[in-house]
């Protein structure tokens, strides 16, 4: 069977106009400012919800580079969340290294080491072939975590100890740590990595990725090295996933195989669609909306997956641009009205 090499772009959101990029950056900055002020009036419970949001938002920024900008939909991207989570677990529980800065560097290194060979094999394909390959690698990694009990703890997972931030140990219990210093540390990471991603998508490299998404063959004729660009996007996306996974593991205090299961990858796709993968701030908006919506629905009914699935159906049919698309439409009508 012949391999489905480089073909035209997959069915992904169309490129947004420059005005949307600018509004996306402003939306991102507004969210950061709101999150910075949240500890002054929000409850402790709300703050504990926001820390995983920071980790998911960072992972989604990377996921969006691959999906929204390059046109490659990964069904196994949660694998990189697991790489970051298990790196944090090994560093703290096995090696006794508690510096979170070293944990982040190790997560970046581990994600890069895995992303290069996996991406090299996957980015030669597009559409469903790329999606199924990434799903296969994700499930393979999930099986390794389950079966190598002595190394990974199997279904019991591995404990993740509280790290040191800039060499300093947080005072108080776990909740005080998560809602205090770690909250702002994770928020700072989201701010830095978000601005880095902004520079990436605005650079010639980001424009090449968008050209590949729109028409890979034409981009190739113009001199764009399609496979190399896709591989670079895959590796960057994996690094963001690894950092997000490390934050999630610190929040939960445990790294277990469920973090890389295919349903977690499906949640990443859900969040990207919910926020709008065609916009820069879409993944951040989507991850925030997902965390809040999931918590609200789960507190009301055990059939929360039914509700979340219904929301996804409505979005795909009636609002393919997600929440960012809805906000953009309302803003445009407001400007025309004024």
Record the pTM: 0.86
Tell me the pLDDT tens digit for each residue of 123-163.
Answer: 887 778 888 888 888 888 888 888 777 777 777 888 888 88
Percent of the chain having pLDDT more than 90?
17
Environment class of residue 148 by beta-carbon count within 10 Å: exposed (0-12), middle (13-18) or buried (19+)? exposed
Tell me the pLDDT tens digit for each residue of 259-279.
Answer: 888 888 888 888 888 878 777
For the chain, the distance separating the N- and C-terminal CA atoms, rounded to the nearest angstrom, is 59
Residue 2: predicted pLDDT: 40
Q: What pLDDT band is residue 325 in, cutting at 50, 70 and 90?
A: confident
Phi first, then psi, for residue 158 (nearest 5°) are -130, 140
**Averaged pLDDT of the chain:** 82
Residue whose pair of structure tokens reads 């404990």 in the numeric block: 159
- Please enumerate in sequence order all residues whose Cβ is within 8 A of that of 159, keeping only pairs 6 or more positions apart, or say none: 89, 92, 93, 253, 254
Structural domain spans, the chain: 54-167+174-261
Environment class of residue 132 by beta-carbon count within 10 Å: exposed (0-12), middle (13-18) or buried (19+)? middle
- Checking if the pLDDT of 21 tops 70, the result is no
Q: What is the DSSP string of 143-193?
A: HHHHH-HHHH-GGG-EE-PPPBBTTBPPPS-HHHHHHTHHHHHHHHHHHHH
Identify the DSSP state of 8. S
Asked whether the beta carbons of 269 and 135 are under 8 A apart, the reply is no
- Checking if the pLDDT of 18 tops 50, the result is no
- Cα gap 1→336, rounded to integer Å: 54
Q: Where are the beta strands (DSSP E) in the chain?
A: 158-159, 254-255
Q: Which pair of structure tokens corresponds to residue 160?
A: 């993740």
């Amino acid at each position: 069977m012949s391999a489905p090499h480089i073909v035209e772009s997959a069915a992904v959101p169309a490129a947004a106009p420059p005005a949307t990029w600018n509004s996306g950056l402003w939306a991102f900055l507004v969210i950061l400012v709101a999150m910075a002020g949240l500890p002054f009036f929000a409850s402790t419970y709300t703050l504990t919800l926001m820390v995983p949001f920071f980790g998911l938002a960072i992972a989604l920024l990377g996921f969006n580079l691959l999906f929204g900008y390059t046109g490659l939909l990964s069904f196994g991207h949660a694998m990189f969340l697991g790489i970051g989570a298990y790196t944090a677990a090994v560093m703290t529980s096995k090696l006794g290294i508690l510096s979170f800065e070293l944990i982040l560097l190790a997560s970046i290194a581990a994600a890069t080491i895995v992303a290069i060979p996996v991406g090299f094999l996957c980015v030669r394909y597009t559409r469903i072939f790329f999606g199924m390959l990434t799903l296969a690698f994700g499930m393979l990694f999930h099986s390794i975590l389950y079966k190598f009990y002595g190394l990974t703890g199997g279904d019991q997972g591995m404990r993740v100890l509280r790290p040191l931030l800039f060499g300093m140990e947080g005072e108080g219990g776990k909740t005080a740590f998560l809602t205090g210093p770690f909250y702002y540390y994770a928020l700072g990471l989201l701010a830095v990595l978000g601005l880095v991603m902004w520079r990436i998508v605005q650079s010639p490299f980001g424009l090449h990725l968008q050209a590949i998404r729109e028409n890979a063959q034409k981009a190739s004729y113009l001199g764009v090295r399609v496979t190399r660009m896709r591989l670079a996007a895959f590796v960057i996306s994996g690094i963001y996933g690894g950092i997000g996974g490390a934050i999630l593991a610190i929040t939960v205090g445990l790294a277990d195989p469920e973090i890389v299961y295919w349903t977690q990858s499906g949640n990443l796709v859900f969040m990207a669609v919910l926020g709008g993968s065609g916009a820069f701030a879409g993944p951040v908006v989507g991850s925030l909306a997902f965390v809040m919506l999931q918590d609200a629905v789960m507190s009301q009914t055990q059939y929360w997956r039914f509700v979340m699935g219904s929301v996804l159906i409505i979005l795909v049919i009636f609002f393919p641009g997600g929440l960012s698309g809805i906000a953009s439409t309302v803003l445009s009508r407001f400007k025309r009205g004024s």
